[in-house]
């Protein structure tokens, strides 16, 4: 069996749709999302990205040197992203020293658990997490202010190219992976899809 990232998407279209199309994003596009909902997402996503950065560092630790360029460019982008989150939170007077919500904890626990998995599984998860935001923020189309820069951050063409490079690296690894590792990659992909959906739902239900 040879598994590819495109097969994961094609064999799980409905699950992936639920991970990337959500009323939260649709209401950002319509400009009707409530500040409590958006701000909950912003703070929880900052906390998520902090742990995601650690996950990428862990992926780098076990990656072949040929993959360093792409992974290091990802880490550079995350450096900028974390500072940007702090600016956005300050503009909205949000406290980033907030407790993680249950769904955010679950997602962070999952990312930490990857350290014990084979590299092809880690590369697949890395790709899936970035693709989820690339497609999620891109699919609704250009968003109105103040959401434009949020949609552009993950929806911009440069980010799409970066996600394609992550896909290429994951595919390379999956090609030579054992059936058992391929199965683990599939399970992990489905877990990302479920957690992405839950994450949108967590923010969406935060209506004061």
Chain residues in the site for ligand HMH (CB under 6 A) = 45, 48-49, 52, 129-130, 132-133, 196, 199
Least separation, in Å, of the C-beta of 57 and ligand HMH?
14
C-alpha distances out from residue 112 to 55, 64, 109, 122, 199, Å? 7, 20, 5, 11, 17
Whether 151 contacts 142, CB under 8 Å: yes
Q: How far apart are CA 126 and CA 139, in angstroms?
A: 20
Whether 184 contacts 92, CB under 8 Å: no
- Residue closer to ligand HMH, measured from CB, 48 or 189: 48
- Residue closer to ligand HMH, measured from CB, 147 or 181: 147
The CB-nearest residue to ligand HMH is: 133
Indicate the DSSP class of residue 98.
Answer: -
Least separation, in Å, of the C-beta of 199 and ligand HMH?
4
Contacts of 48 by beta carbon, 8 Å cutoff, 6+ apart? 104, 107, 108, 199
- Residue closer to ligand HMH, measured from CB, 38 or 199: 199
Least separation, in Å, of the C-beta of 31 and ligand HMH?
21
Following DSSP, what letter does each residue of 192-204 receive, concatenated?
HHHHHHHHHHHHH
Least separation, in Å, of the C-beta of 101 and ligand HMH?
12
**Of 24, 132, 152, 44, nearest in space to 89 by CA:** 44
- Residue closer to ligand HMH, measured from CB, 165 or 183: 165
Least separation, in Å, of the C-beta of 97 and ligand HMH?
19
- Residue closer to ligand HMH, measured from CB, 40 or 182: 40
């Amino acid at each position: 069996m040879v598994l590819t990232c495109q097969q994961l998407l094609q064999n799980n279209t409905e699950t992936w749709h639920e991970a990337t199309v959500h009323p939260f994003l649709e209401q950002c596009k319509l400009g009707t999302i409530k500040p409590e909902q958006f701000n909950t997402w912003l703070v929880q996503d900052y906390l998520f990205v902090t742990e995601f950065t650690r996950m990428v560092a862990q992926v780098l630790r076990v990656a072949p040197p040929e993959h360093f360029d792409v992974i290091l460019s990802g880490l550079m982008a995350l450096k900028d992203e974390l500072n940007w989150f702090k600016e956005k939170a300050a503009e909205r007077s949000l406290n980033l020293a907030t407790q993680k919500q249950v769904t955010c904890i679950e997602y962070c626990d999952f990312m930490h658990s990857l350290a014990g998995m084979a590299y092809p599984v880690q590369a697949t998860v890395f790709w899936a997490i970035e693709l989820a935001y690339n497609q999620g923020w891109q699919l609704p189309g250009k968003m109105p202010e103040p959401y434009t820069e949020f949609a552009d951050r993950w929806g911009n063409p440069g980010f799409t190219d970066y996600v394609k490079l992550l896909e290429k690296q994951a595919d390379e690894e999956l090609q030579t992976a054992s059936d058992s590792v391929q199965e683990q990659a599939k399970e992990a992909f489905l877990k990302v899809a479920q957690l992405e959906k839950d994450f949108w739902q967590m923010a969406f239900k935060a209506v004061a």
